């Protein structure tokens, strides 16, 4: 038979309620008493019955993670991080894919809440930016934390400084001696595209390099758009010696096009991306890119949420550090072909 709280109480010589207090880390339990109870719990390998706890306390010990994101790599990482945090505090996690554009989106969230009664929600992009969701959650009294929301003020969760990351990526190219550095912009609808372009400009300006519109080409985050952009860049009379693509897929496309033009990467041209998706390691040369600590971000968002849920604080917006992943696709300025024409 399963060990119950009552059994622990008997073994420790206290009332069930006291065991409950220890279990829930409540105040007003004397040190020695607490230790006796903890010892008994450990000795009997006691596991509280989650349903009984929920029923009695009207909490579910459940965190639901909402997503509508085609990038499974990203999602799986975030999910793993959220799980890490949930495990730490003995919460469960459920995942829920949703279509944020669908008409019945809010209704579905409502159903989720009334059905599973999660104690809190983790929102991931683009659900983070849904205009009407915050009102619904406030009304239902369900706390939530967001991962990389566009609007950071007043939000609880986690984010990364993409603009600064892009800037440092370009700084890296400049440090390698590059002066003619091209940029392939991402899909115009994504906030990330703007942040990354801004970081590119920041770096050029800081290094006193001119911003040359001919070197800035619009892509749309796809491999094919990277190929197309690179074909234009490599056909220029004074072609760039380095290309910063706004994501890894486009960087892979640029590398492809380089091969097409008889250019060796990184000997003749350096290429870098953003996101550190698997494709950056699956092709050769492996792409220098920016890594988001996605798992860590999931963990942090969940920890902020748990703080709020457990009444341990207000929660805040945490900024995490990015990391340059230096790989084989970037190298020193080609000496045989100095950029000064």
Partner DNA sequence: TCGCAAATTGACAGCGCTGTCATTTTCCTC
Partner DNA sequence: GAGGAAAATGACAGCGCTGTCAATTTGCGA
334 DSSP 8-state letter: P
- Residue 206 interface partner, choices DNA, a copy of itself, none, CB cut-off 5-8 Å depending on type: none
Candidate list 11, 40, 41, 48; residue touching DNA; CB under 7 A: 48
Q: Which is nearest to 63 in space by CA: 112, 128, 108, 120?
A: 120
| Residue 309 makes contact with DNA by CB under 7 A | no
End-to-end Cα, the chain, rounded Å: 83
The DSSP secondary structure of 31-91, one letter per residue, reads HHHHHHHHHHHHHHT----HHHHHHHHT---EEEEEE--S-HHHHHHHHHHHHHHHHHTT-
x-or-dash pattern for DNA, window 49-68, by CB under 7 A?
x--xx-xxxx----------
Residues ≥6 apart with Cβ < 8 Å to 13: 36
- Residue 14 interface partner, choices DNA, a copy of itself, none, CB cut-off 5-8 Å depending on type: DNA
Minimum CB distance to a copy of itself, residue 90 (Å): 8
Minimum CB distance to a copy of itself, residue 238 (Å): 26
- Residue 95 interface partner, choices a copy of itself, DNA, none, CB cut-off 5-8 Å depending on type: a copy of itself
- Residue 337 interface partner, choices a copy of itself, DNA, none, CB cut-off 5-8 Å depending on type: none
* Residues 204 and 166 sit within 8 Å (Cβ to Cβ): no
Q: Which is nearest to 250 in space by CA: 223, 280, 229?
A: 223
Nearer to DNA, 142 or 271 (CB): 142
Nearer to a copy of itself, 93 or 155 (CB): 93
* Residues 53 and 59 sit within 8 Å (Cβ to Cβ): yes
Q: Which is nearest to 65 in space by CA: 77, 51, 50, 82?
A: 82
* Residues 121 and 141 sit within 8 Å (Cβ to Cβ): no
Within 8-37, the residues that bind DNA by CB under 7 A are 13-21, 23-24, 27-30, 33
Minimum CB distance to a copy of itself, residue 133 (Å): 20
| CA dihedral over 224, 225, 227, 228, signed as positive or negative | positive
Nearer to a copy of itself, 77 or 296 (CB): 77
- Residue 104 interface partner, choices DNA, a copy of itself, none, CB cut-off 5-8 Å depending on type: none
For DNA, the binding residues (CB under 7 A) are: 2, 4-6, 13-21, 23-24, 27-30, 33, 46, 48-49, 52-53, 55-58
């Amino acid at each position: 038979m399963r060990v119950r709280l009552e059994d622990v109480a008997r073994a420790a010589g206290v009332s069930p309620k006291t065991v409950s207090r220890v279990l829930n880390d409540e105040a007003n339990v004397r040190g020695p008493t607490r230790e006796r109870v903890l010892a008994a719990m450990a000795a009997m390998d006691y596991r509280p019955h989650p349903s009984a706890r929920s029923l009695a306390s009207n909490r579910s010990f459940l965190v639901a993670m909402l997503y509508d994101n085609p990038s499974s790599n990203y999602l799986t990482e975030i999910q793993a991080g959220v799980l890490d945090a949930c495990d730490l505090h003995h919460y469960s996690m459920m995942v829920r894919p949703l279509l944020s554009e669908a008409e019945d989106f809010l209704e579905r969230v409502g159903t989720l809440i009334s059905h599973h009664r999660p104690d809190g929600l983790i929102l991931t992009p683009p659900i983070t930016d849904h205009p009407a969701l915050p009102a619904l959650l406030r009304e239902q009294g369900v706390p939530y934390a967001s991962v990389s929301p566009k609007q950071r003020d007043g939000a609880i969760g986690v984010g990364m400084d993409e603009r600064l990351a892009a800037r440092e990526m370009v700084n890296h190219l400049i440090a390698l001696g590059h002066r003619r550095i091209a940029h392939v912009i991402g899909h115009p609808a994504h906030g990330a595209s703007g942040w990354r372009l801004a970081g590119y400009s920041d770096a050029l300006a800081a290094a006193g390099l001119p911003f040359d519109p001919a070197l800035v080409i619009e892509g749309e985050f796809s491999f094919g758009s990277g190929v197309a952009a690179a074909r234009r860049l490599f056909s220029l009379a004074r072609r760039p010696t380095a290309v910063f693509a706004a994501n890894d897929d486009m960087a892979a496309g640029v590398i492809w096009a380089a091969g097409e033009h008889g250019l060796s990467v990184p000997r003749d041209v350096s290429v870098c991306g953003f996101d550190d998706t698997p494709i950056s390691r699956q092709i050769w040369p492996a792409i220098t890119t920016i890594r988001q600590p996605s798992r860590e971000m999931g963990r942090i968002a969940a920890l902020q949420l748990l703080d709020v849920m457990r009444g341990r604080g207000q929660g805040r917006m945490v900024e995490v550090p990015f990391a340059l992943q230096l790989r084989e696709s970037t190298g020193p300025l080609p000496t045989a072909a100095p950029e000064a024409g």
